[in-house]
Amino acid sequence: MKKRTYSNPMDLNYEYRVYDIGTEKSPICLEAADPVMVIFEGEYYLFSSVTKGYWVSADMSSWEFINCDTSQLPSIYWYAPAVMVLDGAIYFHQGDHDKRLYRNKTPRDPNTWELVTDNCYVGHDPFLYHDEIEDRVWASYGCGNGKREYIKVVELDRKTLEPIGEVHECIKFDPWTRGWERSRDTHTHEGGYTEGSQILRHNNKWYLIYSGFSLHKCYANGVYVSDHPTGPYEYMQNNPVSHKSTGFVGGAAHGCFFEDKFGNWWNVTCATVFVTHGFERRINLFPAGFDEDGFLYTNTMLSDFSVTLPEGKRDHRLLTPPYMLLSKDCPVSVSSVETAMPEHALYGQAIVNTNVPDTRYDHDPRYVTDEDIRTLWAAASRESGEWARIDLGRSCAIEAVQLNIPTYNLQTDDPAEKYHEYVIECSEDGEIWQILVDNRGKKEFAPHGYYEVKAQGRYVRVTFYHVAGNGFAAISGLRVFGHGGGEKPDTVADFSIIRDPEDLRNATLSWSAAKNAEGYIVRYGIAPDKLYNQYQVYGESVEVRTLTLGIHYFFRVDSFNSEGITQGTKIIGI
């Protein structure tokens, strides 16, 4: 049955990665990154880094994985793929990693990829774009130290698809002027890379999109605009055009903007985990668009709650979650808790500079509902029957659940053992249980399983029967969506804001708690009707560190709870 909604990160059968560090193996984790999505013959094709294949979907609801190895497409298992539809085929290129370019007129058959040219070298992190208006092909690329490395643009020969003409150095980063280009979770580090570009044409304007490098939650996109694909380009004032450093899973860069079948724009991006390895990543999918003045935007507001899939043309600025989160910080009971050092080398050392608990030792049950993909509860064994139960505190209308299963204490990366078996149930009284999800015997690997359900209950329980890789039962987030009954929160009628006089890239907001509010959304932008960026806040203050020098901003504070969002009544400009 087609799903009406989805949640981030996308529920895909992500690839195992085991990294060698010296003579010992670092943790096994899941990785997908640098996604590209195109429509070909009425279906969506999704490609990602370090993935032995690609996904296809008719509606972005359910995804079928097409296995494809290096004997079929030699550069499939590498970083930053470039994908383009042209002349009835999908074209695939890896830039700096492989000068060859391939095409496939029947991509559902992975055996039909063919070589087009072995001389399409354009550099690191390429993006290919066919301009249908002038019937020309362009490539943007660039990845390196932001002080020296430009995002470049070059034309490709329409027939040979090899570079022709001058290489144009167009843009590079400037974190000293633009707060959002700083890296680390809260934009505290000045250095970084310029990477992950995309070039596209919209309403006779050329947009050159780029990413400020980061493996942290602040990973964001910016854009420049020009009248010509080779520039000169002008910085768009409402940058970043995609940013999500708060909420359950962060990261909104190094991917691509694309149009769906109805003409709605989307932004598919990297999502960061960054616990067991720096490249531990997933994929996020956000609604996006261009406004009437040509400003590009991405709607990341509560975008790891439930997001409605499209059934026609719509305004993505107005999109809000159909179901709200019910499970934040709810009490958790579990069958057992792991307290010992991980027993197997495939787990290894945890990264310690992500401001999260050391996941080798701390597996408290509260991490099941703390709304952070980087923390986890782990049971004390890999035995069948380990369970976790959450108490929503009252009977709720449950519309969807998302079960996020991390890799913990895996014994093997054997594909034959790469599946989960579990049952998700709900109950009104904790005694009589109704099955919501039962995937025993299906041999499916769903590390971020998202399920639409219809139930009424107070308790939700997960029981594990098999964990991929023969690992321990573990949860990085059991998330329940629906409606809890009661009233929406009161309005945040007033707030204060101070732009840091010593560093105008930063501003601090504070306000009084609104009645019934569970959290707040600080929305801001370059005009009262262009509040396209946001911070999701649990508390009554936040430091915004994503501003650009010389730009005037407007702010509003909304409140939300399990019943919905209440828009603030005051907008303040600074």
SS (H, E, C) 261-304: CCCCEEEEEEEECCCCCCCCEEEEEEEEEECCCCCEEECCCCCC
Q: Which residue, of 438, 461, 483, is where some domain finishes?
A: 483
With 0-12 / 13-18 / 19 or more C-beta atoms within 10 angstroms meaning exposed / middle / buried, residue 161 is buried
458 & 503 share domain: no
Assigned token pair, 565 = 């969002």
Residue 327 lies in a domain: no
**160 and 266 together in one domain:** yes
**0.85 exceeded by pTM:** yes
Other Cβ atoms closer than 10 A to 485: 11
Q: Which structure tokens are listed for 25?
A: 């193996």
Query: What sign does the CA torsion over 81, 84, 85, 90 have?
Result: negative
Picking from 231, 83, 216, the residue whose alpha carbon sits closest to that of residue 166 is: 231
Residue 203 belongs to some domain of the structure? yes
Residue 488 lies in a domain: no
Q: In the listed set 455, 483, 511, which residue is the last one of a domain according to the structure?
A: 483
Neighbouring-strand partners of residue 450:
402
Domain assignment present for 490 = no
Rounded (5°) CA angle 419-420-422: 160
| 308 and 349 share one domain | no
Residue 289 lies in a domain: yes
Three-state DSSP class for residue 211: strand
Instruction: Reduce the DSSP state of residue 223 to 3 states and report it.
Output: strand
Query: Cα 202 from chain centroid?
Result: 24
Please tell me whether residues 118 and 215 are part of one structural domain: yes
Residues whose CB falls within 8 Å of the CB of residue 143, separated by 6 or more in sequence, listed in order: 80, 96, 123, 124, 125, 149, 193, 194, 195, 196, 213
Residue pair 508/537 in contact (Cβ under 8 Å)? The answer is no
Q: And the tokens for 338?
A: 């792991």
Provide the number of structural domains found in the chain. Answer: 3
- Looking at the fold, whether 71 and 111 belong to one and the same domain comes out as yes
Same domain, 157 and 286: yes
Contact 58, 310 (CB under 8 A): no
Report the CATH number at residue 476: 2.60.120.260
Instruction: Spell out the residues 6+ positions from residue 320 whose beta carbon is closer than 8 angstroms to its own.
Output: 301, 302, 564, 565
CATH number at residue 154: 2.115.10.20
CATH classification at residue 534: 2.60.40.10
Residue 410 lies in a domain: yes
Name the helix (H) or strand (E) containing 84: strand 82-86
491 occurs within a structural domain: no
- 16 and 101 share a domain? yes
Q: Of 322, 348, 368, which residue sits at a domain end? A: 322
Amino acid identity, residue 296? Answer: L
- Provide the pLDDT for residue 348: 41
pLDDT tens per residue across all 574 residues of the chain: 789 999 999 999 999 987 765 545 556 789 999 999 999 999 999 999 999 999 999 999 999 999 999 999 999 999 999 999 999 999 999 877 789 999 999 999 999 999 999 999 888 999 999 999 999 999 999 998 877 789 999 999 999 999 999 999 999 889 999 999 998 888 888 877 789 999 999 999 999 999 987 788 899 999 999 999 999 999 999 999 999 999 999 999 999 999 999 999 999 999 999 887 778 899 999 999 999 999 999 999 999 999 999 999 999 999 999 999 999 999 999 999 998 766 554 444 444 455 566 666 789 999 999 999 999 999 999 999 999 999 999 999 999 999 999 988 888 888 999 999 999 999 999 999 999 999 999 999 999 999 999 999 999 999 999 999 998 999 999 999 999 988 999 999 899 999 999 999 999 999 999 999 999 999 999 999 999 999 999 999 999 999 999 999 999 999 999 999 999 999 999 9
266 and 380 part of one domain: no
Whole-number Å distance between alpha carbons of 504 and 477: 36
122 in Cβ contact with 94 (< 8 Å): no
Same domain membership, residue 264 and residue 412: no
Q: 405-431 b/e with 16+ CB inside 10 Å = b? A: bbbbbbbbbeeebbbbbbbbbbbeeee
Q: Token pair of 108, please?
A: 């559902």
Domain match, 283 and 354 both: no
Tell me, yes or no, whether 249 and 135 share the same domain. Answer: yes
Domain membership flag for residue 60: yes
DSSP one-letter code for 379: -
Given the structure tokens 């998202």, which residue do they identify? 450
Query: What is the domain extent for residue 388?
Result: 332-483
Q: Are residues 146 and 257 in the same domain?
A: yes
